């Protein structure tokens, strides 16, 4: 059963932590509820720690430090570094280094969480097994200049235990002592298990899903040159990180969900903080460039569809397929015109009006639907 496991390559400390915390979550947490019952205060503490640590990863580790998508004042940096440590995802320096490698080498052997190695590897296997020697943190020289980032990197492990387990245990103890709703042991244990252990497991697997599920399920409206996908389902439990296809095309944008209807709490937090002067220089991709990427991808799908139909014609004449090709070629010509218009606007930095952008986007989406329906009809 275990003969194929490369035990000499196992990261024993990391693996032990991931397995033991998951085991405690599915055994000790239900046992606690059975013996001590449900407590709304502890649930509130759990929510606070879940949101704080989750946002510290998405807003802090990811968009602030890894991609420099905006700038933040020191109180925000301090907060995300403290609660980012509480997620037990290592230091911001290490996290950013690995993430930058992922973007640079996505879907290749040099990608730390390469999805081509399978779901488990991308999800958490890359943390549990060491296939290559540790590489130097030579792609985060800019972050090493930040004193808070360097300090967190130096003391990340004691900080992680203190903020992640010590603080909620203390809160649970004080709550029990001052209210009498729980015994001192019950309050301390509840704080340790619910906003502590269970919360760590849930935040970690939410992060892991971005590396695994967001490269497997969803749509690729901006580019099919890599495996990253947009998934509104993943966005729900990843603080808005589910729009991964967009993110891989425009990684320096502080937003992941750029459409008005897309759920992206991390974007809203960054924007809100900018209104009170705590964040600044929020980077945004111009709408013309976003629509240009969508248009190019639509044209690519259209050309693939035409190629399929032309192969079909070569094998056997079909009047309906010929009509479909003619229709698609007309669409291709119009898409070329839209692409040219958007490229000119992007190159000359001409800002198109919102109504013009909306009109072109609506036309491209209509074409995309027509491509799919024409393809289905002809093939039928």
Measuring CA to CA, which residue among 86, 94, 88 is closest to residue 17?
Answer: 88
| pLDDT at residue 244 in the model | 96
Q: What percent of the chain has pLDDT over 70?
A: 77
Is there a domain that residue 313 lies in? yes
Measuring CA to CA, which residue among 185, 154, 43, 33 is closest to residue 90?
Answer: 154
Is there a domain that residue 1 lies in? no
Question: Same domain, yes or no, for 125 and 268?
Answer: yes
Q: Looking at 280, 298, 315, which one is the last position of a domain?
A: 280
Question: Same domain, yes or no, for 146 and 214?
Answer: yes
The CA distance from 168 to 178, in Å, is 15
Question: Same domain, yes or no, for 291 and 265?
Answer: no
Structure tokens at 251: 């990684």
Measuring CA to CA, which residue among 67, 115, 111 is closest to residue 92?
Answer: 67
DSSP 71: E
Give the Å distances, CA to CA, from 248 to 99, 102, 204, 215.
Answer: 11, 10, 21, 11
Question: Same domain, yes or no, for 256 and 323?
Answer: no
| Domain enclosing residue 158, as ranges | 7-280
| pLDDT at residue 286 in the model | 85
Question: Same domain, yes or no, for 102 and 137?
Answer: yes
Q: Looking at 251, 280, 309, which one is the last position of a domain?
A: 280
Is there a domain that residue 31 lies in? yes
Question: Same domain, yes or no, for 269 and 332?
Answer: no
Residue found by looking up tokens 């003969």 in the block: 3
Mean pLDDT check: name the lowest of 274-278, 305-309, 375-379.
375-379
- Residues 83-88, mean pLDDT to the nearest whole number: 97
Question: Same domain, yes or no, for 107 and 16?
Answer: yes
**pLDDT band at 1; cut points 50, 70, 90:** very low
Question: Same domain, yes or no, for 270 and 320?
Answer: no
Domain count for the chain: 2
Whether 223 has a pLDDT exceeding 80, the answer reads yes
Q: Which class for 261: exposed (0-12), middle (13-18), buried (19 or more C-beta within 10 A)?
A: exposed
Is there a domain that residue 165 lies in? yes
Q: What percent of the chain has pLDDT over 90?
A: 68
Question: Same domain, yes or no, for 189 and 217?
Answer: yes
On whether the CB atoms of residues 222 and 246 are closer than 8 A, the answer is yes
Query: Which uninterrupted H or E stretch holds 148?
Result: helix 147-154
Contacting residues for 23 by C-beta, under 8 A, at least 6 apart: none
Give the Å distances, CA to CA, from 285 to 20, 253, 364.
Answer: 42, 6, 19
The CA distance from 147 to 143, in Å, is 9
Is there a domain that residue 76 lies in? yes
Question: Same domain, yes or no, for 267 and 303?
Answer: no
**pLDDT band at 274; cut points 50, 70, 90:** very high
Is there a domain that residue 167 lies in? yes
Q: Looking at 264, 280, 296, which one is the last position of a domain?
A: 280
Is there a domain that residue 2 lies in? no
β-pairing verdict for 279-280 and 71-72: antiparallel
**Other C-beta atoms lying within 10 Å of the C-beta of residue 149:** 20
Question: Same domain, yes or no, for 86 and 212?
Answer: yes
Question: Same domain, yes or no, for 255 and 294?
Answer: no
């Amino acid at each position: 059963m275990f003969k194929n496991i490369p035990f000499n390559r196992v990261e024993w400390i990391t693996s032990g932590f991931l397995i033991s915390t998951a085991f405690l979550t599915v055994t000790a947490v239900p046992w606690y509820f059975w013996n001590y019952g449900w407590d709304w205060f502890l649930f509130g503490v759990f929510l606070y720690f879940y949101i704080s640590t989750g946002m510290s990863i998405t807003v802090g580790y990811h968009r602030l430090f890894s991609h420099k998508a905006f700038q933040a004042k020191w109180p925000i940096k301090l907060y995300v570094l403290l609660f980012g440590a509480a997620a037990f995802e290592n230091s911001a320096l290490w996290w950013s280094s690995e993430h930058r490698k992922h973007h640079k080498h996505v879907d290749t052997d040099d990608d730390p969480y390469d999805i081509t190695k399978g779901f488990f590897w991308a999800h958490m296997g890359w943390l549990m097994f060491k296939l290559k020697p540790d590489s130097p943190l030579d792609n985060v020289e800019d972050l090493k200049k930040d004193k808070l980032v360097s300090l967190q990197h130096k003391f990340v492990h004691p900080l992680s235990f203190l903020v992640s387990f010590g603080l909620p245990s203390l809160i649970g103890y004080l709550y029990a002592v001052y209210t009498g709703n729980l015994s001192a042991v019950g309050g301390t244990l509840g704080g340790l298990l619910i906003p502590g252990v269970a919360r760590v497991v849930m935040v970690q697997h939410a992060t892991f899903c971005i590396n695994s599920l967001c490269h497997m399920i969803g749509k690729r409206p901006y580019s099919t040159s890599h495996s990253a996908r947009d998934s509104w389902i993943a966005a729900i439990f990843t603080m808005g990180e589910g729009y991964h296809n967009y993110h891989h095309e425009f990684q320096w944008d502080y937003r992941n969900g750029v459409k008005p209807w897309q759920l992206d709490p991390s974007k809203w937090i960054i924007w809100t903080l900018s209104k009170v002067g705590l964040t600044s220089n929020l980077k945004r991709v111009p709408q013309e460039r976003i629509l240009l990427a969508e248009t190019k991808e639509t044209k690519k799908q259209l050309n693939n569809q035409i190629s399929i139909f032309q192969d079909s014609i070569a094998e056997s004449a079909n009047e309906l397929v010929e009509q479909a090709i003619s229709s698609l070629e007309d669409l291709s010509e119009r898409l070329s015109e839209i692409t040219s218009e958007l490229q000119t606007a992007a190159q000359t930095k001409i800002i198109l009006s919102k109504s013009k952008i909306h009109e072109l986007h609506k036309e491209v989406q209509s074409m995309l639907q027509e491509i799919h329906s024409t393809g289905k009809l002809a093939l039928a």
